[in-house]
């Protein structure tokens, strides 16, 4: 697994993810990029789960955004629908945290498209640690990026499947 945190604060949206890729109890890579930006549509996404599965879903998300003229809500629902019903896609094991300037979602392979409250999302093995730290930090003067980085630091200190080699994207 991995840890991804999405923070929405003061008109800024930031997604941060760690760089650790593990196979069982072994770290095989410490600098993976699990956060991506779709510049054309001003959308950022972070992935937790199998790397190949996450990349497949990212490509599908891009295609859905193109098909629906950048409407993130519609693209998220259509992706979740395909993910749940498609024979090939439903085997993919990953979670996605996605956001644009207006909205943020968690998308799962069970067909869930969730829009969490409070401006923060945490997914992956250290997601709950990052989420808890981020919720506390939201009431401070810190920027969205600072909240995301500090929340990821807390998660990396607790979760053995999360490191502190961060990849951060913001819009």
pLDDT for the residue numbered 88: 67
Asked if residues 90 and 60 have their Cβ atoms less than 8 Å apart, the reply is no
140 flagged as catalytic: no
Domain architecture of the chain: domains with CATH: 3-170 (3.60.20.10)
Structure tokens at 147: 């909240």
Could you read off the pLDDT tens digit of each residue along the chain, which spans 171 residues?
Answer: 789 999 999 999 999 999 998 888 899 999 999 999 987 889 999 998 877 777 888 888 999 999 999 999 999 999 888 887 876 666 667 789 999 999 999 998 777 899 999 999 999 999 999 999 999 999 999 999 999 999 999 999 999 999 999 999 999
Q: Supply the pLDDT for residue 92.
A: 67
Backbone angles phi, psi at 80, to 5 degrees: -60, -40
Please tell me which residue in 2, 26, 140, 162 is annotated as part of the active site.
Answer: 2
Q: Which of 108, 132, 96 is nearest to 17 (CA)?
A: 96
3-state secondary structure of 156: helix
Nearest Cα to Cα of residue 44 among 102, 118, 128, 110: 102
pTM: 0.92
Phi and psi for 67 in degrees, rounded to 5?
-60, -35
Helix ranges (DSSP H) in the chain: 51-67, 72-85, 127-137, 144-158
């Amino acid at each position: 697994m991995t840890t991804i945190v999405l923070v929405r604060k003061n008109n800024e949206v930031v997604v941060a993810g760690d760089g650790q890729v593990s196979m069982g109890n072994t770290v095989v890579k410490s600098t993976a990029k699990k956060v991506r930006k779709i510049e054309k549509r001003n959308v950022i996404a972070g992935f937790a789960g199998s790397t190949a599965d996450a990349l497949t879903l990212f490509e599908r998300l891009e295609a859905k955004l193109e098909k629906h003229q950048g409407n993130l809500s519609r693209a998220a629902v259509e992706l979740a629908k395909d993910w749940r019903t498609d024979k090939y896609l439903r085997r993919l094991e990953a979670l996605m945290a996605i956001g644009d300037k207006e909205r943020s979602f968690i998308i799962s392979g069970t067909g869930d498209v969730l829009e969490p409250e409070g401006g923060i999302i945490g997914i992956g093995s250290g997601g709950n640690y990052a989420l808890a730290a981020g919720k506390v930090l939201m009431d401070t003067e810190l920027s969205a990026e600072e909240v995301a980085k500090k929340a990821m630091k807390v998660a990396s200190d607790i979760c053995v499947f999360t490191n502190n080699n961060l990849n951060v994207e913001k819009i």
